[in-house]
Amino acid sequence: MRDRTQLYIDGAWVAPQGQGLAEVQNPATEECVGRVPLGGEADVNRAVDAARRAFPAWSQTPSHVRAGYIRALAEQLQKRADEMAALITAELGMPVQWCRMVQVDGPIEGLQSYAELAAHMDEVREVGNSLIVKEAVGVCAFINPWNYPLHQLIGKLAPALAAGCTVVCKPSQDTPLHAFLLADLVHAIGLPAGVFNLVSGPGSKVGEALARHPDVDMVSFTGSTGAGVKVSEAAAPTVKRVCLELGGKSPFLITADADLAAAVRHGVQDVMINSGQTCTALTRMLLPASRYDEAVEIARAEAVALKMGDPLDADSFLGPMCSGGQRRTVLDYLRVGQEEGAQLVCGGAERPAHLERGHYVQPTIFAGVNNQMRIAREEIFGPVLCLIPYADEAEAIAIANDSPFGLSSAVWAGDREDGLRLARQMRAGQCFVNGGAFNYRAPFGGYKQSGNGREWGEQGLHEFVELKAIQL
C-alpha cells in the first residue's frame, strides 16, 4: 500500500486543508494500491501563493543553474527508474515490457534535452533599435492526464523549469501516485521552495480552481477535448495563456505499393500499446480497396496473436483499461460500431476467458467501416482499430483529413519520398513515415480540436516564454 497523506507545497510536505483521501485502484486486480489527499481550493491558494513568491528569484536564477537542477532531477529519476515504472504499472496497468521504456526512460531523455535548451533563454536578438529578450511567463498550472502520467508531467515541467517558471501540478485522480514520488525526487535535489508544488484532488475542484486563479499566468492541460474546452472557459476571464494537448482520431494511410504485412502489423501494434489509451493512436487505418481483404486478414492475425494479461508478466502486450469507467466507455463504442453496421473481425465485448478480474477489453478490429460512423469520428481511447478502404490517393487524403481532430498521422509507402509527399498533405501536428520513431527534440501538438501550442523540443520551451522588446 502506497498511502500519501500530505501535499507538497512551498518546499515541504504539509497537511491538506481539504478533507479525505481518494483510493487509487490497480486496474488489473481491482484492489486499492494507495491513497492520496483530496485537496481543495484552500490548498490551491496556498500552492499558488508559494509559486508566486518563488517566481522572482527563480526566474532571475542563471540559466545554467536552472539547467543543473534539471540534470539533477534526471539523475534522481534514473536512479529510481525501476521504482517509478513499477508504480505506474500498479496505478495504470501498463505492462512492464512497455512501462519503463515509454513512461520513464522517455521522460529522462526529455529532462536531459531541456537541461541543454535552458541556455536559449539567454539569447538576445537585435532588431533595428530594439533588443528582443526572453522572460518566463510566470506561475504555471499543470492539469495532467492518467494515460501517460509522468511522460506528460515532465513534458510540461522540464521546459517550465528551463524557462524560469514556477509550477503547481494537479495529477489525475486515477493515476496520482507517480507525482508524489516525483515530488520526493524534487525535494531530494533541493529545488528552491515554491518552484514546484503538488496538489491532488478532483478536476472539478482543484483543476477548475487552478484554471480560474488570478495569480496563475498559464495553464497547460492534457486530456479530452471536452475537458479542454472547460479549462479554456475557466481561464478566459483572467486572459491567462492556455496550452491544450487534446484528443485524436489519427489516420494511418497505407499505399498500394507498401509492404502490406509490415505496415498493417505496425498499425495494429501501435493502436494496442497501452491498451489503446493513447491520444496519438493510429485508430483509422486507410487501406487500398484492391488489397483490403488481404489487409483485414493480416490485421486479424496480428491482433489475436498479441498477448493480453497480467501487466507484471513480461510477455503481456496489453493490460487492462485504466478504470472500470473507461472499460464501460469502450464497451459502449463496441456496441455502437456493430449497430452502425461495421463488421467485428475479432475481439468484442466478451471478457477474455482467462481474466476473471480487471478492467480488460480484448483487442478489437472493425472492418467495413466508413468515415462517417461514430467509431471512425470519435475518440474511443481503447484497443479498437477501424479499417477503412479507399479507391485512390485523393480519396485517401480526403478521408484522412475529414476529422475534427488533427493530433497525429502516419503514412507507409513503398517509396520514402512518396511517403514524405503524402505526409505533407496530412492536416495533423505530426506524421510518422514508414514507422519513424517519436523524437523528444521535435515539437508535439495538434491541429483543429486536438489542441493548441506545442510540447517537447525548442518549441515546447517557447510555450513558457514571454518576448519583450526593449527600445534603445
Element (H, E) at 25: strand 21-26
User: With left for phi above 0 and alpha for psi between -120 and 50, is residue 360 left, alpha or beta?
Assistant: beta
Element (H, E) at 155: helix 149-163
Residue type, 353: A
> What is the spatial distance between Cα 274 and Cα 276, in angstroms, rounded to a whole number?
5
Whether residue 271 contacts residue 240, with contact meaning beta carbons closer than 8 Å, is answered with: no
> What is the spatial distance between Cα 34 and Cα 343, in angstroms, rounded to a whole number?
41
* Helix residue ranges, H only, 273-392: 292-305, 324-339, 374-377
Question: Sign (positive/negative) of CA torsion 206, 209, 213, 217?
Answer: positive
With vertex at residue 134, the alpha carbon angle to CA 131 and CA 135, rounded to the nearest 5 degrees, is 125
Q: For residue 22, what are the β-bridge partners? A: 36
Helix orientation angle between 149-163 and 106-117, rounded to the nearest 10 degrees: 10
Task: Please report, to the nearest 10 degrees, the dihedral formed by the alpha carbons of residues 214, 232, 150, 17 taken in order.
Answer: 40
Known catalytic residues are 245, 279
Radius of gyration of the chain (CA): 22
Sheet holding 125-127, edge to edge: 125-127, 130-136, 465-471
Helix orientation angle between 177-188 and 149-163, rounded to the nearest 10 degrees: 30
